Amino acid sequence: MTSTPPSSAPAPAGPAPVAATPAAPAPATSTWRRGLARLAGGPGRLTGLDVARGLAVLGMFVAHLYTPDPVTGADPMSWSWVFDGRSSILFATLAGVSLAIMSGRTRPLEGVPALQARMRILVRALLIFTLGEILTMLGTPVAIILQAYAVLFVLALPFLRWSARRLFVLAAASAVVMPVLTPLVASTLAWAQLGSVPLTGLLVTGMYPGMIWFTFIVLGLAIGRCQLSGTDVKLRLVAVGAAVSTLAYSIAAIADGAPPTDPMGGGSMVTEGRPAFVLPDLAALARTAEPHSGGVAEVVGSGAFAMAVIGLCLLAVQGGRWLRALLTPIAAVGSMALTAYTIHIVALWRVGDAYWQETGLQLLVPFVEVTLIGCTLWRFFLGRGPLERLLTWVSWKAAGVTPAARGRAAT
């Protein structure tokens, strides 16, 4: 009698269970989440700085496009003078903050990373300067700031290793000395018949003279070296900025700080064989707070005003969800400030003669609406602005930074 050996395989116990596969996320939901993440700016990005940049760009729109009636306290629409001059100074101060972020935030980079950061800054300066020259050739009635912006990048390079304390001291000294020194240099260059040299306009005599605006790039560099994630730092920026700004503007008001009718009317001295050396009216230039006057009161007051605005914007993004949502379109503009600024200059060029025919809000409102909506949609669907993306890519390539290092470095 033979027996059948038992089988080693278990007896079937019904149909084998089918492994459950996770459901793929709905495309609409995935797109929505990615878009919201782009609007939030990503980890490590200080959204408050984007808000401040957005305010600076939109403020320049107001300065370029809005011609108000005489200022009256009862009519808020006549208060656009707040943006004139101060918006571009805020823009320049934020450039210094960006340089601090690119070069190590609170701890300046050293060695090869420091050299690569400087190369990135130089390449960006060259590209921004070239873009500014192209926009200038369009012949719009706007004094393009980009060339001065690029020059300030270069002027700041020797100070990238400085601490925040030293930078604040340098900015304070520059705010007092440069508004007095710059017109003296301008008079000397005119006497020496060097006033037409291109570099003279960029550094001394232009709408944004580098000697004076050096104060703002250094101030921004000092702010960027601070621990901006701390609430106490933000509060100090607001408090000190508001106090110094109020003091400077008050002194100018008490001193009746209107710019002199003839800024170079302080006296003259004729030298044989040379043009007359004209001594600037330094007392009048020192106390004026008028936009683009370059007076001590304007430089100190507007620089401190920019500091307070940066602190307020950093604090504002810590507010509730609804406040952050309200600020999102402004932050989107600030995240692509160069693109927004460039497009608005091109749009002004296309508007042409209508620029001189329209006053008040006829041009300003459409420019602001299209910019807010367009930048928000671009950031939601595509992230970084086109010109910002180009500058970042070219500067990374020129500096020879590997893709792995790009992910670790501040941008």
pLDDT of 296-315, one tens digit each? 999 999 999 999 999 999 99
Residue with the larger pLDDT of the pair 12 and 30: 30
How many degrees, rounded to 5, is the angle at CA 196 between CA 195 and CA 202?
85
Buried/exposed code over 208-226 (b: 16+ C-beta within 10 A; e: otherwise): bbbbbbbbbbbbbbbbbbb
Contacts of 341 (CB under 8 A, 6+ apart): 57, 60, 145, 146
SS3 content of the chain, % helix, strand, coil (to 5): 65, 0, 35
pLDDT above 50 for 3:
no
Give φ, ψ of 108 to 5 degrees.
-55, 140
pLDDT of res. 40: 87
pLDDT above 60 for 9:
no
Contacts of 118 (CB under 8 A, 6+ apart): 103, 157, 160
Contacts of 357 (CB under 8 A, 6+ apart): none
Instruction: Give the global pTM.
Output: 0.86
Summarize pLDDT for 102-132 with one digit per residue, the tens: 999 999 999 999 999 999 999 999 999 999 9
Contacts of 11 (CB under 8 A, 6+ apart): none
SS3 state of residue 277: strand
SS3 state of residue 245: helix
How many angstroms separate the CA atoms of 236 and 310, rounded? 11
pLDDT above 50 for 7:
no
How many angstroms separate the CA atoms of 349 and 139, rounded? 7
SS3 state of residue 348: helix
With contact defined as beta carbons under 8 Å apart, do 375 and 336 qualify? yes
pLDDT of res. 404: 54
pLDDT of res. 285: 76
CA 323 to chain CA centroid, Å, is 22
Name residue 295's amino acid: G
pLDDT, averaged across the chain: 84
Residue 142: C-alpha distances to residues 63, 133, 249, 398 (Å)? 10, 13, 26, 32
Confidence of residue 257 (pLDDT cuts 50, 70, 90): low
Residue 83: C-alpha distances to residues 30, 48, 248 (Å)? 40, 19, 17
- Mean of the pLDDT values across residues 6-20? 47
Residue with the larger pLDDT of the pair 149 and 262: 149
Summarize pLDDT for 340-364 with one digit per residue, the tens: 999 999 999 998 876 666 656 788 8
How many degrees, rounded to 5, is the angle at CA 53 between CA 49 and CA 57?
170
pLDDT of res. 274: 58
How many angstroms separate the CA atoms of 309 and 289, rounded? 18
CA trace torsion 285, 291, 294, 297 (10° rounding): 60
pLDDT of res. 261: 47
pLDDT of res. 2: 45
Give φ, ψ of 268 to 5 degrees.
-145, 160
| Sign of the dihedral defined by the CA atoms of residues 218, 220, 221, 226, in that order | positive
Residue with the larger pLDDT of the pair 87 and 274: 87
pLDDT above 50 for 12:
no
